[in-house]
Amino acid sequence: MADQSQRSGWGQRLTRGMATIAMGLALVASPAEARKAPESTTVALAELPVEAQRTHRLVLSGGPFPYAKDGTVFHNRERLLPAQPRGHYREYTVRTPGARNRGARRLVCGGSVPIRPDVCYYTEDHYASFRRVLAS
């Protein structure tokens, strides 16, 4: 009899352990979903660093841009921005004072006409997170 209660105790612990592992895997299975910025994560253009505000003005005027990669298609590989057809998003470098290279800051804007974007997103951590820019 004690042998059977031991088995059922093991079974219960095993079942609970498997459930805990399954829940953990569900959380790990979609890291992009965990990092995806909700639409409520916004920032006013005026609150961005002055370099980002300058970059935004350059986007609206069509350049000239300081880096060759500016204005190229952003592929949204991280899938943190809303899904759009290829070519919808374009990326622009936001200068980082003291950086020897392009740095980690970017403005990613989307729309059918690059100088009139429907939406722009700012990242200061090289696409690990984004905040939607409120221009007005």
Per DSSP, helices labelled H in the chain are 2-29, 31-35, 50-61
Q: According to the CATH classification, is domain 37-134 in 3.10.450.30?
A: yes
Tell me the CB-side half-sphere exposure of residue 62, using CA atoms within 13 A. Answer: 2
Domain limits of the chain?
2-32, 37-134
126 catalytic, yes or no?
A: yes
Answer yes or no: 33 catalytic: no
Neighbours of 95 (CB within 10 A): 17
Tell if the pTM clears 0.85, that is, is over it: no
Q: What's the pLDDT tens digit per position in 79-130?
A: 999 999 999 999 999 999 999 999 999 999 999 998 999 999 999 999 999 9
pLDDT at position 29 is 38
For 92, the token pair is: 């622009």
Which of the residues 33, 47, 75, 126 is marked catalytic? 126
Give the distance, in angstroms, between the CA of residue 95 and the centroid of all CA atoms in the same chain.
19
Please tell me which residue in 33, 78, 91, 124 is annotated as part of the active site: 91
pLDDT for 33 beyond 80 = no
